[in-house]
Amino acid sequence: MTALAHEALHASLQDPVLESIGFLNEIMSRHRDAISFAPGAPHPDPYTELDPGRYLDRFVAHAAAEAGCTPAQAARLLYEYGPARGLVNGIVAGALRRDQGIDADPDSLVITVGAQEAMLLTLRALTASPDDLLAVADPCFVGITSAASLLGTEVVPVPEDADGLDLDALAEACRATREAGRHIRACYVAPDYANPSGSRMEPERRLCLLELAEEEDFLILEDNAYGFTAAPGSELPALKALDATGRVIHIGTFAKVCFPGARVGYVIADQTVVTAAGPVPLASELARLKTAVTVNTSPVCQALIAGMLLEHGGSLAELGRTRSALYRRNLAHLLRALERERADGLPDGIEWNRPVGGFFVRMRLPVRVDAALLEVSAAEYGVLWTPMAPFHPGGGGTHSLRLSCSYLDPERIDQGVRRLGAFLRAHPGPGAAGPSAEGILR
């Protein structure tokens, strides 16, 4: 059998982020009875009422009416490959216009295999040389940094606070890279309840980011996965809705609002590309790249999502209303459970943030948080969480963990937090009564 040297394969296969994801999956499979705050997966309850056949029929009836043909003729759309750009662009564009004030031409959308493909295609199109860099928040969603690693795109980490990206630090990074003969081509940001930090970019900073993108000549990759979890009346405009100069490429997913198994996402790329044949939207170029990656997004999966939207008046907000309430309930429940544990006594140096939306809470410990500590937590206390270090391209996060509340019911959240509290009291860290951090990790 032929043997291949690992170092002879692409360098992305040695990326510690990929290794950490694999370890997390492996430890979850070994500790099936543990309560897991690790996965950022949607809650399964909304799926119990899914009727795929009804949604497919709803889309087919709509497509037949639009084309002036019979439902049987329209159903053929589901059996073929379909266009790389997508089959349901008009329905998605209508929902974005209605719910988020994003006025996007359907031709400026590409319907993708999840948001992950949208990130990969966009990065591939934008980073043409090793001197084209990607700025990201630090901490940052590992999906975008993994895509950058796969493509060989260098990442520039930019710190953030509770109100989002530090724009002074981003401006300084732009200047420093320019002086080095390089260029920050794009900046990835999740302005609403980012994964993993839970931060939310306040309105004035959104406008300032758009101004900085114009001044420093970079594009903004906006990830809008968690904006729908905002409480009614507290919604903030997406960066794309504020974008007057075409600086924002907007990336979205139906995984949280509909269901993840469909693997349907989208990207709005309405920037103009000047080609020899004339100007075309950037979406056209992304669709060309898509033909070399996945050819097209499953028409059946697109039709399922479109049928769900049509059944809810073509509205993402209406479709996501009950799901949003469920996630806000879980997040509030997790934060109350943590406060009860604090009242019962937790070691000094344990802190956490208090986001009002999204799926995640970030906790800081007085001990080093890594795979060895997670193994102790899983094996001895039956509770899982996610170490934060892989989310920090700048090398931080060594003493932090992420708790996800999206997948659990309130009773399991309570039980899991009690287990977590017992774990934290038994391993308080250096200088406290009980085992030291070094003792934990031997």
Q: Tokens 């329209």, residue?
A: 74
What is the C-alpha separation between 285 and 288, in angstroms, rounded?
5
Residue 442 has pLDDT above 50, yes or no: no
Nearest to residue 345, comparing CAs of 272, 395, 418? 418
Task: Specify the pLDDT at position 430.
Answer: 60
Average pLDDT over residues 171-200: 97
User: Which pLDDT does position 429 carry in this prediction?
Assistant: 65
When pLDDT is cut at 50, 70 and 90, the band that residue 29 belongs to is confident
**Dihedral angle over CA of 93, 94, 100, 104, nearest 10:** 40
The fraction of the chain above a pLDDT of 90, given in percent, is 84
Exposure string for 205-227, b = 16+ CB within 10 A, e = fewer = bbebbbebbeebebbbbbbbbbb
- Range with the lowest mean pLDDT among 16-25, 303-312, 380-389, 403-412? 16-25
pLDDT of the residue at 428: 75
Paired tokens of 382: 């039956």
Q: Residue 433: its pLDDT value, please?
A: 38
- Provide the terminal-to-terminal Cα distance of the chain, rounded to the nearest Å: 38
Give the residue among 171, 168, 159, 170 at the shortest CA–CA distance from 199. Answer: 159
pLDDT range class, residue 368, cuts 50, 70, 90: very high
For residue 336, pLDDT over 70 is answered with yes
pLDDT at 38: 92
Per the listing, tokens 């509909």 go with 258
pLDDT tens-digit map of 230-267: 999 999 999 999 999 999 999 999 999 999 999 999 99
Peptide bond into 44 cis (omega under 30): no
Q: Which helix (H) or strand (E) holds 279?
A: strand 278-281
Domains of the chain: 15-40+320-441 (3.90.1150.10), 52-314 (3.40.640.10)
- Which one, of 362, 393, 386, lies nearest residue 155 by Cα? 393
Q: What is the pLDDT of residues 127-170, one digit of tens each?
A: 999 999 999 999 999 999 999 999 999 999 999 988 899 999 99
Kindly tell me if the per-residue pLDDT of 19 is higher than 80.
Answer: no
Bond into 203 cis (ω within 30): no
Map tokens 């399991």 to a residue: 412
Strand-pair category, 155-161 with 164-165: antiparallel
Three-state secondary-structure class, residue 121: helix
Helical spans, DSSP H, in 185-268: 203-216, 239-242
Q: Return the pLDDT at 436.
A: 32
What pLDDT, on the 0 to 100 scale, is given for residue 439?
A: 30
**Is the per-residue pLDDT at 6 higher than 80?**
yes
User: Residue 437's pLDDT is what?
Assistant: 33
pLDDT at 326: 95
Mean pLDDT, the chain, whole residue set = 92
pLDDT of residue 163: 87
What local confidence, expressed as pLDDT, does residue 108 receive? 98
Mean pLDDT to the nearest integer, 390-397 = 94
**Interior CA angle at 200 toward 364 and 168, to 5°?**
90
User: Residues 97-125: pLDDT tens digits?
Assistant: 999 999 999 999 999 999 999 999 999 99
The CA distance from 384 to 23, in Å, is: 12
Tell me the pLDDT band of 424, cut-offs 50, 70 and 90.
Answer: very high
Encode pLDDT of 51-70 as tens digits: 999 999 999 999 999 999 99
Question: Per-residue pLDDT tens for 284-317?
Answer: 999 999 999 999 999 999 999 999 999 999 998 8
SS3 156: strand
Please give the pLDDT value at position 15.
83
**Given pLDDT bands bounded at 50, 70 and 90, which one contains residue 420?**
very high
Q: What is the mean pLDDT of residues 392-399?
A: 94
